[in-house]
Chain A
Amino acid sequence: MAIVEFEIILAAIISMSAPLVLAVVGETISERVGIVNLSLEGSLLITAMIGFAVASITGSVLLGFIAAALLGGIIALLICFANITLYINMIAVGFTLTILLGKLSSYLGQPFVRIPGPYVPQIEVPWLKEIPIIGKAVIDQNVVVWLSIASIIIAWWFLYKTKSGLVLNAVGENPYSADARGINVKFIKYFYGTLGGAIVGMAGASFSLHSIYGWSNGHTLNYGWICLAIVIFGGWNPVRGAIGAYAFGGLQIMALKLQGVLFGLSQVLPLIPFPLMIMSLILIQYSQDKQFIPNRVRSILFGNQPEHLGDTFKRG
């Protein structure tokens, strides 16, 4: 009985956290190359809206996802263009975009508010879903959940195990050194900045087509901001970031499940991640200054910020 209950909760956490995981992985890739996509909240809202709208009109969930990914990519491309080509501060552009896109999603999304529409179907996998725990939690889900899990593994493998991933890291660490080695820094920044945005777009679509069906104003529950914090909390490592996303998702689910038991406390539970995040950021900073955590442990636990994160690259 307890196991069944546990399996259900675990499955719910993994399912509900899928959009968060995708957004964190996408943002992590952008930030590793030095691009801060601060429009994350706005991007998620507008892509959630567009994804649902396109899927509703065409009847194809796949087309909804493609449209959302394209839009997410275009938004990130805009930030890249402003920063890489026009040398405009990317934080300012991202912040303005997040407000603009948020309002735009409410305006354009009016016809789609609270109407029934398509969603990502569950796929029946015979006998594999009978495996204890994993069967329920991972296998007996849909494509979006599988995609979110795959994105963690692929991003980790790419960043740490491939030469291209190393080049990506190098550009974020020091674009000037990378430039001196003949690497096309601007192209690399454009490419991964935009790719990260496209993944964020898919995260948006998986909100409206997977975790919270349909569209309503402010549909993504401010999770965009949370994801920005999780990326930092995860030390710009997709695996640690994903763990952060699951932890956050887990607390939301727990709060729902325990509503009847804890009464007042269940409203407090979803808030726990916020002070927790602030505390861990303080811990990261403090340990850096005071060295009370050995550097080795620290780098495993927290990871380093790309040295030129958010900087405008401009040759002399």
Chain B
Amino acid sequence: MKITFDSITKRYGELIANDAVTVSIESGTIHAIIGENGAGKSTLVKMLSGQVTPDSGSIAIDDKVIKGFSTHSAIELGIGLLGQDPMDFKNLTVMQSFTVGHRLNTSMMRNGLLRQEFERLNSVYDFNIDPKKKIYQLSIGERQQVELMRLLSNGAKVIILDEPNSGFSLEQKSKVFDALDGLTEEGCTVILVSHKLEDVLEYASSVSIMRKGTLVDTLDLPQSPGHLVDLMFGGHQEESVLQTESVTDTQNLVAKVQQSGQTIDLNLSKGMMVGAIGLQGSGVDTFLRNMFYDKSFLLTDAEGPIDKSSFGYVPADRLERGLFPELSILDHHALSSTLGHNVIDWTQIRSMCEDLIREYGIIGTPETKAHELSGGNQQRLMLSMMRSDINVAMLEHPTRGLDIQSADYIWDKLLNDKLSRTVTVFSSYDVDEIWNYSDYVLCFHGEDIVASCSINSISKTDIINNIAGNVIGRDE
């Protein structure tokens, strides 16, 4: 199906998410929409899936203007959205979640029709998901696979992928894109919203670039990555220079880490950046959380144990644990800065808040609510809230779902601040991030820490072998 967005505009308060956006997407293609965080990509596609109503403008399918989009009518039209977070039900089983809202809606569940349908898709796409499991027992990637099967089973002709890849393992990703490739040959249209240029260049045949709510250009691929990056960031992309000098100061710092029954001593130095890496689903998922909340982490310097009150924790699920979705940026800064004084000096907070918005490049006003910010801006907000007297910074997947520029910004900031802190700990699934930014590395396989050493005494291949549990590879 051919899809045309015609001068779509959408505002959230003072924020213009989409400003007269016009895009045309050809049938039977994988069309990518790229742009930095907050460029308005998600907002645009959510109008096609009926979750967001445009203020003005229209959407046409096969040159027929569709009026009054709702999620229901979008499904009738064969439009399926695979969101950043899977839209499922944690306490239901996979099969139940697959069934809810299914078009083969019979009042009785006794028939095995849906079960057969699930098993068929499961084997066609080689996903291997157990329908009896509860949703909360699956990884994000598996949940997305269930969602994809559900969309296809409901007769989706247009599949929108709204940055779902952050949760996919490499194997899952290739399986999913194999499935999508096959579908375009059957005439399906795939819209891939992403900030990962590699994915776009590898899978898409055309691309629309968005910047600050407007459409910059629509191009056929392939294009040079540099050109696309220029268009995404308006040509002002500065090559960020990241310091990678490692810390050699030998101030005695001993960390005791307890993980799944083992106790490991880490010999760290002040100002070090410690990276924890593992595959998704391994102990690395909850490592930092446990460190922060439990007594599984003890840090001692020459003067004795370091007090937990100077620990700062930035969780991965920004809206669930990190921020208050309904509170504004101003409220967040008031919360984080007036601890100790009970009466809030709003004028002072406002000026401080405006400074921080500028300093951290947050796209929003002091009144913007946290849930209205894009992922990258939420991350910036969390960093901007970290008090300056934090000695031990713990960041869970600090660049999860961020575009290159936002991610670079975050790393710049962390590397800048690391020397003024006792230690900075972060977790990641990305070997390159660990390799580029950490001074000390912890490798997880399953629930265990299988290697912990200075980054200088391990190779990138060894890290990969360790987290894959491939110890033989290390010996070779």
Question: Which residues of A are in contact with B by a Cβ distance under 8 Å?
Answer: 161-164, 166-167, 169-170, 173-174, 176-184, 304, 307, 315-316
Contact = CB atoms under 8 A, between A and B. Distances in A.
B90 A180 contact: no
Closest A-B pairs by Cβ, 7 of them: A181-B101, A182-B72, A182-B75, A177-B87, A170-B100, A173-B89, A180-B87
Contacts of B110: 161
Per DSSP, chain B at the interface is loop
Contacts of A307: 89-91
Contacts of B106: 163
A177 B89 contact: yes
B89 A180 contact: no
B51 A166 contact: no
A163 B91 contact: no
Given A178-B100, A183-B101, A170 B92 contact: yes
Contact of B71 (A163, A174, A181): A181
Contacts of A163: 99, 105-109
Contact of A164 (B52, B71, B107): B107
A180 B91 contact: no
B53 to A, nearest CB: 8
Instruction: Please indicate which of the listed interface residues A163, A176, A316 has the most CB atoms of chain B within 10 Å of its own CB.
Output: A163
Given A180-B71, A304-B91, A316 B52 contact: yes
A176 B99 CA distance: 16
Contacts of B109: 161-163, 166
A304 B134 CA distance: 13
Nearest to A179: B71
Interface in B43-99: 46, 49, 51-52, 70-72, 74-76, 81, 83, 87-92, 96-97, 99
Interface bin, chain B: 20 to 34
A167 B100 contact: yes
A205 to B, nearest CB: 30
A162 B108 CA distance: 5
B88 A177 contact: yes
Contacts of B92: 166, 169-170, 173
Interface string B305-318: 00000000000000
Per DSSP, chain A at the interface is helix
Contacts of B96: 166, 169-170
Contacts of B76: 182
A154 B458 CA distance: 64
A170 B51 contact: no
B132 to A, nearest CB: 13
A102 B52 CA distance: 42
B89 to A, nearest CB: 4
Instruction: Please indicate which of the listed interface residues B89, B106, B108, B110 has the most CB atoms of chain A within 10 Å of its own CB.
Output: B89
Nearest to B372: A316
18 contacts: A162-B108, A163-B108, A163-B109, A166-B96, A169-B96, A173-B91, A174-B87, A174-B88, A176-B87, A177-B88, A177-B100, A178-B101, A181-B101, A182-B74, A183-B101, A307-B91, A315-B51, A316-B46
A307 B52 CA distance: 23
Contacts of A183: 72, 100-101
B371 to A, nearest CB: 8
A166 B91 contact: no
A184 B91 contact: no
Contacts of A166: 92, 96, 99-100, 109
Contacts of A182: 70-72, 74-76, 101
Contacts of A304: 91
B377 to A, nearest CB: 16
A315 B52 CA distance: 8
Contact of B49 (A162, A173, A176, A180): A180
A183 B106 CA distance: 14
A182 B19 CA distance: 27
A167 B105 CA distance: 11
A309 B75 CA distance: 26
Contacts of A169: 89, 92, 96
Interface in B97-144: 97, 99-101, 105-110
A302 to B, nearest CB: 12
A173 to B, nearest CB: 4
B72 A184 contact: yes
A170 B89 contact: yes
A182 B109 CA distance: 19
Contacts of A316: 46, 51-52
A141 to B, nearest CB: 31
Nearest to B150: A181
Contact of A181 (B90, B91, B100, B107): B100
B224 to A, nearest CB: 36
